[in-house]
Amino acid sequence: MPDVLSNSDKTPSWHALDGADCLSRQQSAPTGLTHSEAQRRLIACGPNRLPVPPKRSALWRFLLQFHNVLIYILLASGMVTLLLRDWIDSGVIFGVVVINAFIGFIQEGKAESAMSAIRNMLSLRARVRRDGIVVEIPAEDLVAGDIVHIADGDKVPAEIRLLQTHSLRIDESALTGESEPAEKAPPRTVVAAPLGERSSMAYSGTLVTHGQGAGVVVATGMATEIGRISNLLATVEPLTTPLLGKLDRFGRQLTVAILALAGLTFGIGVFVHHLPGNDMFLAAVALAVAAIPEGLPAIITITLAIGVQRMARRNVIIRHLPAVEALGAVTVICSDKTGTLTRNEMTTQHIVTATQLYAVTGAGYAPQGDITLNDEIINPAEHADLLELCRSALLCNDATLHEHAGNWQLTGDPTEGALLTLGIKADLDVVKEREIRPRLDEIPFESEYRFMATLHHDHAGHHFIYIKGAPEHLLERCTAQRSDGQDRPLDKSYWQTHMDTLAGNGARVLALSFKAVTSEQRELHFDTVTTGLTLLGLLGIIDPPRSEAIAAVAQCRRAGIAVKMITGDHYLTAQAVGAQLGLDTALASMTGTDLEALDDTALRQVARDTVVFARTSPELKLRLVQALQADGEVLAMTGDGVNDAPALKRADIGVAMGLKGTEAAKEAAEMVLTDDNFASIVAGVEEGRTVYDNIKKSILFILPTNMAEALI
């Protein structure tokens, strides 16, 4: 069996190999494996699933709740008060201990739940070519070398090196943090390509959003990317919260002080005043019982519970009680970009025509906003070139928008949603436009050609084609540009300059073009749109920051809390969003490739000075968290993907997204945001500081009271 079928470190970079080479290394063929060979490999390499780790029994988990210095003191004092027949005090003490144990028991087990959530991401069934015939089998029976077919709506069942694709797009946000589905194609990529740019690969657990594809399985089970993250998550040791750490130290110090005081009392009574030993022993025990703040755990638990309720009203769900106070001690917030700092809704913000540069206000899919020229709101109907561009964006489009409970929801591709919203902002009626200019035929988006085209006619007998796609591909097909309602010669340098400017600002650039055809044209073919197109303009599309997140970042900085963005998205996009949020991106921004070359010492310096990290892997996110903690920072880490789970588990407080987050992220975190909004984290920090202050006041009240009781 070749080593590429094993889970060893010698596995090659499959994305950088030719498809034929991958087949050869896997000793496979386009017709797939034979059934007997597949069975042999399954026995040799094991099933395509993540192993189920041994779980602690419920009884053992419950008993571990008593493993705490303060609880030991309470148990000891409870036994003594029981011996002294002080039934009320002993009942209160044991009641507090048991209630505290039950609360901890209920909150326990998030690491095991996170592992289970990752396993649930795997596909259950797979279409595979065996003995030259496509059959459906359980996904766990897949082996390296199998030829797998994937299509719209499928979960990718294993790590696949793609050999054939047709308009294939895959949502890899759970692994990469990318806000848009990744386009896939068979040609190999460079060895150093980050995971989000490996277009020749399909990763286990990701979702096919469009098109079809087929490829050879190159990794299964724990050898897949999701298996590697699962293994990483299992090795991460979660930290205790600042509150539990302080209480542990406080409990030890208090124990020593109380025992020393009791021992001193016993010694003075027996050896100085020559009192009976039995009497002095009871006196020393009574002194110790009086000094122990048996009400403190109850007060802390009640204070934390009140904090949990207050936070729930501010869209923050706490999964682990001590995390309430931990929020109040946070000094650094490391936030994911997509969906937390931004809306995770693509929005058209810039329009370039042959004569004007327009800006578009508003964010997200809600069609609320205006088109401005030189910072003044305009009427799109008075700008013919602009109106035609917006009309093409609306008609060359398969997305739909609908309002539900005050929220606008998209069905379809996020980019097409941004175009549809733009058309509505230009005062175009979607239903009316589609009735006046019905579609006759279309060429769906093809990753090979990178454009979509639709054929329309109006009721005056005109036939025309709208085309949208990657500007570098459409420019090659355009011979003219629309200017003041007329077709004029194409100025390529003008368009290239604006393409570079928009891309440099982190926007996705889209071109729209037009072609008039005869009334005999009833069908669309590729040769119809290879030349003779008229360029209508360019659109700059971005997932914009939340307005409330911008205010929250400013509030954090005023409160002395540093905010850092850690994202799997593209460097330029991260830079642009960071600048809009008010982060000091001029200070430093780095990519995952830069970070991988640093040792732990250098990484600590970089983590302290850098505010934007792009194209980061799960390992790098974890290393960044550890580097900041090594500098003494109390860290809150936000995330929504399975790639965020290890860092969420390691952080002082992990914050998962409740709306769009994966179950793996939620189970690894101590806190879940019900609105996926960065501003809610800041609200949680406010509540956490209040809780910390209340706990401190309680300790300052109860300790002098107990000491006074002990002295009396």
Bridge-partner residues for 29, per DSSP? none
Kindly report the number of other CB atoms within 10 A of residue 366's CB atom: 18
Kindly report the number of other CB atoms within 10 A of residue 601's CB atom: 9
Q: Are strands 486-489 and 478-483 parallel, antiparallel or unpaired?
A: antiparallel
User: What torsion do the CA atoms of 599, 604, 609, 613 make, to the nearest 10 degrees?
Assistant: 60
Query: What is the total residue count of the chain?
Result: 712
Specify the 3-state DSSP secondary structure of 594.
helix
DSSP state of 643: G
Q: Which structure tokens are listed for 473?
A: 């591909």
Which residue in the block uniquely carries the two structure tokens 């326990």?
108
Which DSSP helix (H) or strand (E) runs through 537?
A: strand 533-542
Q: Is 170 exposed, middle or buried (0-12, 13-18, 19+ CB in 10 A)?
A: buried
What are the start-end ranges of the H helices in 523-644? 547-558, 571-581, 592-596, 600-609, 618-630
Q: State phi, psi for 201 to the nearest 5 degrees.
A: -120, 150
Sign of the CA dihedral with 434 first, then 473, 176, and 500 last: negative
One-letter amino acid for residue 466 of the chain: Y
638-658: b (≥16 Cβ within 10 Å) or e? bbbbbbbbbbbbbbbbbbbbb
CB distance 325 to 557 below 8 Å: no
- In angstroms, rounded to a whole number, what is the distance separating the alpha carbons of residues 579 and 684? 24
Q: Is 231 exposed, middle or buried (0-12, 13-18, 19+ CB in 10 A)?
A: middle
CB distance 612 to 375 below 8 Å: no
CB distance 354 to 365 below 8 Å: no
> 3-state SS of 213-279?
EEEEEEECHHHCHHHHHHHHHHHCCCCCCHHHHHHHHHHHHHHHHHHHHHHHHHHHHHHHCCCCHHH
Q: Are strands 332-335 and 182-183 parallel, antiparallel or unpaired?
A: unpaired
Bridge-partner residues for 480, per DSSP? 489, 534
Q: Which structure tokens are listed for 489?
A: 């010669």
User: What torsion do the CA atoms of 221, 227, 228, 233 make, to the nearest 10 degrees?
Assistant: -140
Q: Is 9 a catalytic residue?
A: no
Q: Which structure tokens are listed for 248?
A: 């542990």
CB distance 376 to 503 below 8 Å: no
Q: At what angle do helices 242-267 and 678-711 cross, to 10 degrees?
A: 0
CB distance 211 to 156 below 8 Å: no
Angstrom CA distances, 684 to 19, 108, 316, 698, stand at: 50, 21, 7, 21
Q: Per the residue annotation, which of 146, 336, 543, 569 is the catalytic one?
A: 336
Which DSSP helix (H) or strand (E) runs through 666?
A: helix 663-668
Catalytic residue IDs: 336
